[in-house]
Structure 1
Amino acid sequence: MGVGKQSSPPPPPPRWAVELNNPPPSRPKNTSNIPDPPGFSAQRAIGGKQKTSQLPARKPPTQEETDILKLKKSWEIALAPGKQLPMQLIMSYMSGNSLQIFSLMMVAMLFKGPLQAIAATNSTFTKLETEGNKGKMILVKATFVGMQFMLLALGVWKIGQMGLLPTTQSDWVAFEGERICLEKAYFAT
């Protein structure tokens, strides 16, 4: 029947495929001409062995240094709620004063978070409190509780803006007594 088509050889694979299957040999890194960084002293062994470091051993920190570091960390934890205050203020403003689920959840979180943090004040600082810094930790804990009270005050301000606090006279009408008139005026007829 006929002459068959001659098949041509398949095209060569692309260059990226060849390089992927046969990566080029890696060049040896020549680090002998790179100087050591300042403060680093090392001796190079002869014969291709690795460098051995001859740095002096670091002395462990004293108890006083540890107390100072723990006190600094305690202050960071105590001042952290104060850093949240501007963000919470902006979120309170942006959520609006109408009674909606978002603004009500926002107010609930403004009360729940600080109340839980105040209740857990001692457990928050137990890992950082030692005999050496026990007197100074009282001020740290007081600052932490004060910051939490500032967040609570923001929550009270928010529910006041929403109209949920009974601050007007009309909120207390049920407890008002009847006024007794001292004088009565009658119209002349």
Structure 2
Amino acid sequence: MNRLRQHIEEISPITDEEFESIQKFFILKNVRKNQFLLHEGDDVKYEYLVLEGIYKVFYLDENGKEHIVQFAKRNWWMTDYSAFFKLNSSTMFVECLTEGEVICLTLDGREKLSADYHKMEHFFRVKLTNGFVALQERIRLLLSGTPQQRYEEFSKLYPDLMLQIPKKYIAEYLGVSRETLSRLYSNTK
């Protein structure tokens, strides 16, 4: 749980006593490659902090086509947030692409931590704000950016993911075909 404390303290320094109480709300879970943490239709019990591994959050459209909403790597949070906060069934899947490890937190746990510790409320607010900003930028690029711009932005922001994630998933995330992604990759060399 030291990595959890380090992660929290990047935003909100906490005492040993505070961390002793805080860590009780989190559950450590090992995840196998290709294991799903969440399926469409599931009750969303947790949000997950990634300690190890690469994950994809996606949904299937009415034709069964996969649409990747998010990748997640170390120190990123993920779940089906609409279902998590609204207490609905999931419309998303969360799949581990590599061996991994996550820390799980329930909504009740999150709310109690926020109510009991101003530092944790601040931590969650900063994380949520940063996630919202990243999501808006992603939507802006999807709506008005060219495939080349989307590719360049992704490769600039996440050079490590470019090397770790299969190209077909990157193409899905960028909203381009695998062939287009190959052309974009060739054009940047």
User: What TM-score, normalized by structure 1, do the two folds share?
Assistant: 0.27
Greater relative contact order (Cα < 8 A, sep 6+): 2
User: What TM-score, normalized by structure 2, do the two folds share?
Assistant: 0.27
Larger strand proportion of the pair: 2
Max Rg structure: 1
